[in-house]
Amino acid sequence: MSRFRFPWETLLAVRRREEQAQQATLARLQGRSREIAEAMEAGRHALDAGREALRGALTGRVDGAAVRMEAQNALVLQRRLRAAGAELAAANRAAEQARRTLADAARERRAVELLREARLRAHLEAQARREQAAMDEVAARVGGEA
């Protein structure tokens, strides 16, 4: 019984490592997108809290310094949210590109795996034919001696 040797086993191992690297890259990019989205959500809550504080500062006796401070704080938060939105869009684009690259890497790995499976099937079939031929030869010898 001969042992199956796939001549492109090294290529298959490389394809698997490339796919794993792409999976890690995608996971890192998705994590970054989540972090940005969470920071934006916290910024929105801070902006809402600032608006409530501004409303409170505008009722009763109005403190001009407090109103200016709250308005300035709101502007800073809005700028940060816009910047975070742009960063989130860029991170999402990068994650989408990483998804496409991962799909390509998976396709390339799968192509080599399919080739390996076909070669293994052919090897097993050839081995079965050789074994059957050997058994037929033994049967013919035994039948010829009788």
pLDDT in tens, 105-145: 999 999 999 999 999 999 999 999 999 999 999 999 887 77
- The model's pTM: 0.75
Per-residue model confidence as pLDDT tens digits over 88-104 = 999 999 999 999 999 99
* Chain Cα centroid distance, residue 80: 28
* Out of 8-12, 19-23, 66-70, 102-106, least confident range: 66-70
Q: Name the region of 5 (left: φ>0; alpha: ψ -120 to 50; beta: rest).
A: beta
Are the CB atoms for 95 and 33 separated by under 8 Å? yes
Residue 3, SS3 per DSSP: coil
Q: Which of 87, 91, 96, 57 is nearest to 74 (CA)?
A: 57
Cα–Cα dist 131/66, whole Å = 93
